[in-house]
């Protein structure tokens, strides 16, 4: 309650918050809520054109959620050694390089020069390139190339602890493993910043709210005990069951800052700005494939129907990077589908930012303006859990689009 | 039967299962054959030997490591984006190299902020620790602080897969 008042006070100079508390306690509020952006650092924003009649594609994806966290284990199959690297939930893009480094580290003492990677999603590609960087010759075997994988049906930004594990199912050392993965990935992604086509880039993401954001951020709905838990039902039943690790790496992740008063260009009471790392699928996929081929990599399109088929491969070390498909291919029933959907509008490079408002996310990327319902139902991390319906839901897409259509209809662009 | 080291270290949960499978595939038995005939070896005669070291040496090396090396290479030898790990890739980089070279490198270049400041016996014990952490079992003979004798030993790759057998009918290895 106290913080709520402090935060309101920090915005009291803005017309929308007029009538609340005095402006006097801004430093206190900033301390509680994060730094206040220096006046004048918010550029004149071009409003985004977000309308249902602009939707050009709707993509649906199943996050490969494993309550224990991603599987990074070695398993002998026939005369091969399989190194598993799958089950990255809603964090596969973010954690890919670090997870790849760990998988390659497990394989390195086997001293094999020629290795196989099954899968050409973000995990397979980064594993293949990481293996090449460690001196291995790599052949990728996959049913689909990247553009047809679930990976490119994601949002594609830095979300390293989104549905990555459950507190009760992950081993105690997973937090440290996660931290190592996240740090390694973050640093590797920086290698791709500033390249032609901006395969990896940053966007200012505006986090908007009509109510004090500290409440929205910190109040978790009380778990409904009658529903049970993962332990009793095999599926998480409350948001509180999901492990959150972001605080472990906050020393390297740019924080959010408050936009106070007249510096807040949006027609909402509360706005924060946070630079986020994003992945432009087209440019980044192209960069990865080019890297892989230039290092002598080979790709063979092939579908595996059972684990025993790895016996046919000439390589003796095989990285299994099949994502959600490992549930059937490898019989890993611990994988829980978490459905998610993104709608794509034509690219709008003039509106080059992201917005998060009323449970929906908008992100301007080089291959389109992405709109996603991230929490339209108010279920938070539970949204989509256990849902393996991979067909687009037009109504849901339009609901997310409507959030921004409404927001920008009220937006008054600053002149000059 | 001894457990294949990579599983002992990396798949503790699946321990029993892996051991059984490995025994079935004959991996354990052949791993040591791979050691005796290293595939990437620049080996000059006489044939290089697997190093021996004692558990006490490795324990002491662990203390030295924690105090002097872990700040860069990580508490679990895991390295980082800009820091070489001392397991995994480390084995691939040093396997079948004679130990006097590793000893010379550590002596001259490490610790990075004060190279050459560790006494010889500490460096030897750090090597014993690295050997143990990477899957070599300790024995009764200590690792000697003697460059000539170290030159007769190579850093083992105890997890290396056995050499490829002669082509089996219907399963010819692909040539590239
Ligand atoms: C809506 C949504 C938004 C998301 N947003 C983000 C985000 O912003 N940031 C983030 O970090 N993560 C995000 N994720 C999560 C991320 O997309 C996944 O974790 C990631 O894509 C998993 O990648 P993968 O390579 O393991 O699997 P996949 O992309 O599914 O790739 C699997 C590969 O294996 C191949 N394969 C599968 N079965 C077989 C077989 N039997 N034989 C041969 N080949 C086979 C496939 O063809 C494919 O090449 C999001 C997910 C969703 C659903």
Q: Are A121 and A346 in contact (CB under 8 A)?
A: no
CA angle B143-B146-B151, nearest 5°?
Answer: 85
Report chain B residues whose CB lies below 8 A from the CB of A111: 39-40, 91-92, 95, 157, 159-161
A73/B80 Cβ within 8 A = no
- Position B175 scores a pLDDT of 46
Assess contact for A311 and A77: CB atoms under 8 A: yes
- Inform me whether the pLDDT recorded for A25 exceeds 90: no
Burial (CB < 10 A; 0-12, 13-18, 19+), residue A23, is middle
Give the total number of structural domains in chain B: 1
**Residues in chain A, overall count:** 416
| Beta pairing, strands A354-357 & A270-279 | unpaired
Domains of chain A, by residue range, sit at 68-188+281-335
Which strand (E) or helix (H) includes residue A123?
Answer: helix A122-133
Size of interface A-B (CB pairs under 8 A): 81
Average pLDDT over residues A346-362: 97
User: What pLDDT score does A27 carry?
Assistant: 52
User: Where is average pLDDT lowest: A5-9, A233-237, A362-366, B113-117?
Assistant: A5-9
Determine the pLDDT at residue B42.
52
The whole-number average pLDDT for the span A126-130 is 98
CATH number at residue B92: 1.10.760.10
Residue B19 has pLDDT above 60, yes or no: no
Q: Does the pLDDT at position A229 exceed 60?
A: yes
pLDDT of residue A77: 96
User: Is B170 part of any domain?
Assistant: no
Taking the centre of ligand 1 as the mean of its atom positions, its distance from the CA of residue A150, in whole angstroms, is: 4
Question: Which residues of B fall within a CB distance of 8 Å from A317?
Answer: 161
Give the Cα separation of A226 and B108 in Å (integer).
Answer: 65
Measure Cα distances from A226 to A365, B24, B30, B145 in Å: 42, 48, 55, 66
| Residue range A375-389, pLDDT digits in tens | 998 899 999 999 999
pLDDT digits (tens, 9 = 90+) for A169-201: 999 999 999 999 999 999 999 999 999 999 999
Does A191 reach chain B within 8 Å, measured CB to CB?
A: no
Q: What's the pLDDT score for residue B69?
A: 96
Nearest CA to ligand 1 atom 21: A151
The answer to whether the CB of A141 falls within 8 A of the CB of A304 is yes
Question: What's the confidence (pLDDT) of residue A148?
Answer: 95
Domain A68-188+281-335 class? alpha beta
A306 — pLDDT class (breaks 50, 70, 90): very high
**Does B43 lie at the interface with A, CB-CB under 8 angstroms?**
no
Sort out which chain A residues have CB atoms less than 8 A from B88's CB and list them: 104-106, 108-109
Tokens of A162: 């989104």
A134 Cα to chain B: minimum distance (Å): 7
Q: Is the peptide bond before B138 cis (omega within 30 degrees of 0)?
A: no
| Mean pLDDT across A89-99 | 98
Determine, for residues B159 and A109 on separate chains, whether the beta-carbon distance falls below 8 Å.
yes
CB contact under 8 A, B78 and A180: yes
Q: What is d(CA A230, CA A41) in angstroms, rounded to the nearest whole number?
A: 45
Q: How far is CA B4 from CA A59, A73, A84, B19, in A?
A: 45, 14, 18, 7
**Which residue's CA is the nearest one to ligand 1's atom 37?**
A322
The confidence score (pLDDT) of residue A226 equals: 82
Q: Does any domain span residue B34?
A: no
Nearest atom in ligand 1 to A95's CA: 11
- Classify burial at A27, counting beta carbons within 10 Å of its beta carbon; exposed 0-12, middle 13-18, buried 19 or more: exposed
Asked if pLDDT for residue B85 goes beyond 60, the answer is yes
Which range has the worst mean pLDDT, A33-37, A240-244, A250-254, B64-68?
A33-37
- pLDDT beyond 50 at A95: yes
* Averaged confidence pLDDT in chain A: 90
Mean pLDDT across A228-250: 94
State how beta strands A270-279 and A74-77 pair: unpaired
Confidence of residue A217 (pLDDT cuts 50, 70, 90): low
Inform me whether the C-beta atom of residue B131 falls under 8 Å from chain A C-beta atoms: no
Q: Taking CB atoms and an 8 Å limit, are A81 and B161 in contact across chains?
A: yes
- Shortest CA distance from B19: residue in chain A: A76
DSSP character string of A14-36: SGGGTTSS-GGGHHHHHHHH-PB
Nearest ligand 1 atom to alpha carbon A160: 11
Is there a domain that residue B3 lies in? no
Give me ligand 1 centre to Cα A87, in Å.
Answer: 9
Residues 1-30 of B with CB under 8 A from A: 6-7, 10-11, 13-14, 18, 21-22, 25, 27
Residue B145 C-alpha, separation from nearest chain A C-alpha, in angstroms: 26
How confident is the model at residue A413, as a pLDDT?
A: 82
Q: Would you state the pLDDT for residue A225? A: 77
Question: What's residue A155's pLDDT?
Answer: 96
DSSP string, B87-144: STHHHHHHTTSBHHHHHHHHHHH-STTSTT-S-HHHHHHHHHHHHHHTTPPP-SSPPP
Per-residue pLDDT, averaged over A96-122, amounts to 97
Tell me the per-residue pLDDT of B67-79, one tens digit each, with 9 for 90 and over: 999 999 999 999 9
Judged against a pLDDT cut of 80, whether residue A305 lies above it is answered with yes
A49 pLDDT band (50/70/90 cuts)? very high
Greater confidence (A7 vs B52) lies with B52
Residue B137 placed within a domain: yes
CA distance B58 to chain A (A): 20
Cα distance between residue B149 and residue B144, in whole Å = 7
Residue B100 and residue B153: Cα distance in Å, rounded?
A: 8
Instruction: Find the DSSP H helices in A134-280.
Output: 174-190, 213-218, 230-233
Q: What is the pLDDT of residue B23?
A: 38
Residue from A205, A158, A162 nearest A356 by CA: A205
Look at residue B28 and tell me whether its pLDDT is greater than 70.
no
Contact B81 A108 (CB under 8 A): no
A156 backbone φψ class: left, alpha, beta (φ>0; ψ -120 to 50): left
**A66 ligand 1 Cβ < 6 A:** no
Q: Whose CA is nearest to atom 14 of ligand 1?
A: A90
Please state which of the ranges A145-159, A207-221, A268-282 shows the lowest mean pLDDT.
A207-221
**In ligand 1, which atom is closest to the CA atom of A329?**
41
Q: Which residue has the higher pLDDT, A131 or A24?
A: A131
Strand pairing report for A317-320 and A80-84: parallel
A180 has a chain B CB within 8 A of its CB: yes
Residue B107 lies in a domain: yes
Q: Which of A319, A326, A325 is nearest to A138 (CA)?
A: A319
ipTM metric = 0.80
Q: Is any atom of ligand 1 closer than 6 Å to the C-beta of A122?
A: yes
pTM of the model: 0.86
Contact of A370 with A58, CB cutoff 8 Å:
no
CA-wise closest residue to B22 among A313, A83, A108, A77:
A77
Mutate to test the pocket of ligand 1, among A88, A95, A386 (most ligand atoms within 8 A of CB): A88
Strand partners, A86: A71
A105/B11 CB distance under 8 A: no
pLDDT at A399 over 50: yes
Q: Does the pLDDT of residue A1 top 70, yes or no?
A: no
| Cβ contact B6–A110 (<8 Å) | yes
Confidence of residue A17 (pLDDT cuts 50, 70, 90): very low
Taking 90 as the threshold, does the pLDDT of residue A218 lie above it? no
Residue B147 lies in a domain: yes
User: Which tokens belong to A101?
Assistant: 């480094």
pLDDT at A8: 40
Whether B124 is covered by a domain: the verdict is: yes
Residue A9's pLDDT is 37
- Give the structural domain span for B141: 47-157
Q: Is A354 near ligand 1, meaning CB less than 6 Å away?
A: no
């Amino acid at each position: 309650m106290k913080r709520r008042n402090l935060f309101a006070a920090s915005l009291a100079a803005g017309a929308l918050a007029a009538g609340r508390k005095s402006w006097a306690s801004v430093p206190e509020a900033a301390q509680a809520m994060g730094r206040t952006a220096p006046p004048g650092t918010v550029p004149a924003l071009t409003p985004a054109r977000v309308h249902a009649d602009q939707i050009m594609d709707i993509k649906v994806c199943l996050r490969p959620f494993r309550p224990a966290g991603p599987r990074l284990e070695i398993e002998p199959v026939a005369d091969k050694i399989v190194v598993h690297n799958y089950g990255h939930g809603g964090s596969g893009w973010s954690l890919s390089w670090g997870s790849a480094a760990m998988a390659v580290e497990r394989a390195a003492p086997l001293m094999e020069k020629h290795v196989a990677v099954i899968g050409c999603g973000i995990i397979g590609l980064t594993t293949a390139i990481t293996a090449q960087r460690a001196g291995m010759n790599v052949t990728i075997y996959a049913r689909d190339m990247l553009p047809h994988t679930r990976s490119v049906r994601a949002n594609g930004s830095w979300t390293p602890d989104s549905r990555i594990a459950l507190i009760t199912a992950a081993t105690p050392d997973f937090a440290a493993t996660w931290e190592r993965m996240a740090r390694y990935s973050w640093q590797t992604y920086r290698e791709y910043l500033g390249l032609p086509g901006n395969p990896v880039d940053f966007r200012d993401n505006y986090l908007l709210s009509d109510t004090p954001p500290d409440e929205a951020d910190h109040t978790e709905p009380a778990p409904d005990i009658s529903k049970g838990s993962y332990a009793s039902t095999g599926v998480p039943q409350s948001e509180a069951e999901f492990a959150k690790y972001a605080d472990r790496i906050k020393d390297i992740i740019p924080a959010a800052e408050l936009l106070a008063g007249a510096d807040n260009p949006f027609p909402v009471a509360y706005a924060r700005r946070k630079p986020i790392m994003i992945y432009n699928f087209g440019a980044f996929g192209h960069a990865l494939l080019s890297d892989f081929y230039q290092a002598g990599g080979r790709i063979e399109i092939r579908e595996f129907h059972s684990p025993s088929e790895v016996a046919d491969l000439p390589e003796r070390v095989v990285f299994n990077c099949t994502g959600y498909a490992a549930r059937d291919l490898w019989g890993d029933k611990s994988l829980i589908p978490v459905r998610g959907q993104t709608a794509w509008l034509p690219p709008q490079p003039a509106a080059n930012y992201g917005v998060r408002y009323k449970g929906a996310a908008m992100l301007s990327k080089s291959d389109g303006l992405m709109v996603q319902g991230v929490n339209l139902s108010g279920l938070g991390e539970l949204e989509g859990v256990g849902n393996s319906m991979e067909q687009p839901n037009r109504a849901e897409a339009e609901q997310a689009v409507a959030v921004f259509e409404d927001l920008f209809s009220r937006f008054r662009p600053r002149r000059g | 039967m001894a457990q294949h080291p990579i599983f002992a270290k990396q798949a503790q949960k699946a321990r029993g299962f892996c051991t059984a499978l490995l025994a079935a595939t004959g991996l354990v038995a052949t791993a040591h054959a791979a050691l005796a005939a290293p595939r990437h070896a620049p080996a000059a005669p006489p044939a290089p030997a697997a190093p021996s070291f004692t558990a006490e040496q490795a324990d002491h090396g662990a203390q030295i490591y924690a105090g002097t090396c872990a700040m860069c290479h990580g508490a679990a030898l895991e390295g980082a984006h800009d820091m070489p790990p001392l397991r995994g890739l480390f084995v691939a980089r040093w396997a079948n190299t004679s130990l006097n070279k590793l000893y010379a490198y550590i002596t001259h270049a490490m610790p990075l902020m004060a190279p050459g400041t560790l006494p010889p016996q500490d460096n030897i014990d750090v090597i014993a620790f690295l050997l143990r952490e990477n899957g070599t079992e300790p024995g009764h003979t200590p690792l000697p602080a003697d460059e000539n004798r170290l030159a007769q030993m190579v850093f083992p790759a105890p997890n290396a897969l056995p050499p490829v057998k002669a082509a089996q009918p219907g399963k010819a290895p692909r040539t590239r």
